[in-house]
Amino acid sequence: MSSPIPVLHQFSLQALNTFGIAATARTYLRVTKKEQLLGVYADGNWATLPKLVLGGGSNVLLTGDFDGLVLHIGLEGKELVGANEQHQFVRAAAGENWHAFVQWTVDQGLGGLENLSLIPGTVGAAPIQNIGAYGLEIKDVFHSVTVFDPATGETRVMDGAACRFAYRDSVFKHEGRDLIILDVTFALPKLWQPNLRYAELAAEPGMPAKPTPRQVADAVIAIRRRKLPDPAVIGNAGSFFKNPLVSGAQCAALLERFPNLVHHAQPDGSEKLAAGWLIDQCGWKGKSLGAAGVYPKQALVLVNNGGATGADVVALAKAIQADVQARYGVLLEPEPVFI
């Protein structure tokens, strides 16, 4: 294909997904300027090819080679963009590393994002599933997002309502799935209060009664290092399944049979179950199927024990789903995006 767009061909994606799965992209472009996106979608050769927008690759499962164009988002830059009476506004480009961005805010004494320390990936992917951890989701500190719309070639700004954030969900997983996020702006509270709603965080040894944003960030980092595998050492994509939401009645019926069931009441009356507990109770913790396994310290995390293919991970995930469904009547939904 002749084109002025400087793509690379037959590009290995193994180092670009935290599961460490071997797969190849037919073509690959590192996007460092917004104009490159305009160029790709205005060019007849490239506009119709299937696209995969890739950030840090920490929430994807590659199930085979990608027969299209990978747009690897490398847009950089972060800045304080203003303030009003209640908030300071910070903006970061989509390709910035999420954890480094959070630490940059904390190091300036700006509180608000610290509970989301050490989540892998990029700023641009954070709104896609409304990332959350330790009592905070980005919707709680979100201001707006700038998106590129391939259908029109235009750029526009969307506020929180337009993003329709929910637990591990947003408009970008539905009607907005083709939009490409260029940058994200956060509203950080001037009157910061520590968010210690998550019991394990409040109980972290050494946590002062009135911690600073840095102390909260450090505690979150310490907890995460204890519980979750480092993708640089063992391939994984964090939680492999979402925590399932069931009705209050279904939860009550389950509690009669399983009194230790871990559940959290939601404002709408539904109950969120702990998928890790369900999988653990089915005896999967530390078990393997082929080269894919269940992390011994956290049953919700599937790992690549070395040389796993996407098919190995899918086979393990299906076996776990079948067992949890048979025992609890609950279907676990994968969290990563299957490619």
**Binding positions for ligand EPU, rule: CB under 6 A:** 133-134, 227, 238-239, 242-243, 262, 274, 276-277, 280, 285, 298-300, 335
CA separation for the pair 109, 106 (Å, rounded): 5
Structure tokens at 25: 């992209």
Residue closest to ligand EPU, measured at CB: 238
237 binds ligand FAD (CB under 6 A): yes
In the three-class reduction of DSSP (H, G, I as helix; E, B as strand; rest coil), residue 273 is classed as strand
In the three-class reduction of DSSP (H, G, I as helix; E, B as strand; rest coil), residue 117 is classed as coil
Residues 60-89 contacting ligand FAD, CB under 6 A: 60, 73
In the three-class reduction of DSSP (H, G, I as helix; E, B as strand; rest coil), residue 195 is classed as coil
119 binds ligand FAD (CB under 6 A): yes
Binding mask 139-178 toward ligand FAD (x if CB under 6 A, else -) reads ----------------------------------------
Tell me the CA end-to-end span of the chain in Å, nearest whole number: 24
Instruction: Please name the helix (run of DSSP H) or strand (run of DSSP E) that holds residue 271, with its range, or none.
Output: strand 271-273
Burial of 155 (0-12, 13-18, 19+ CB in 10 A): middle
186 closest CA partner among 111, 241, 255, 239: 111
| Residue 60 interacting partner from ligand EPU, ligand FAD, none (CB closer than 5 to 8 Å by kind) | ligand FAD
Q: How many CA atoms lie within 13 A of 87 on its CB side?
A: 15
Stretch that binds ligand FAD, among 193-201, 211-219, 233-241, 282-290 (CB under 6 A): 233-241
CB 297 within 8 A of CB 303: no
What are the residues whose beta carbons fall under 8 Å from the beta carbon of 329, sequence distance 6 or more?
A: 250, 254
In the three-class reduction of DSSP (H, G, I as helix; E, B as strand; rest coil), residue 337 is classed as strand
Q: Considering beta carbons, is residue 105 or 243 the nearer one to ligand EPU?
A: 243
CA separation for the pair 69, 47 (Å, rounded): 10
Q: Considering beta carbons, is residue 136 or 320 the nearer one to ligand FAD?
A: 136
235 binds ligand FAD (CB under 6 A): no
Stretch that binds ligand FAD, among 57-65, 84-92, 105-113, 306-314 (CB under 6 A): 57-65
| Residue 242 interacting partner from ligand FAD, ligand EPU, none (CB closer than 5 to 8 Å by kind) | ligand EPU
Q: How far is the CB of 75 from ligand FAD (least distance, A)?
A: 8
Determine which residue in the list 181, 188, 234, 320 makes contact with ligand FAD, applying CB under 6 A.
Answer: 181
Q: Considering beta carbons, is residue 30 or 287 the nearer one to ligand EPU?
A: 287
Determine which residue in the list 20, 112, 213, 238 makes contact with ligand FAD, applying CB under 6 A.
Answer: 238
CB 238 within 8 A of CB 59: yes
Q: How far is the CB of 123 from ligand EPU (least distance, A)?
A: 17
CA separation for the pair 337, 12 (Å, rounded): 19
CA separation for the pair 6, 81 (Å, rounded): 33
Catalytic residues: 168, 239, 335
310 binds ligand FAD (CB under 6 A): no
- Binding site residues, ligand FAD, CB under 6 A: 18, 53-60, 73, 94, 119-122, 124-126, 128-129, 131-133, 180-181, 228, 231, 236-238, 337
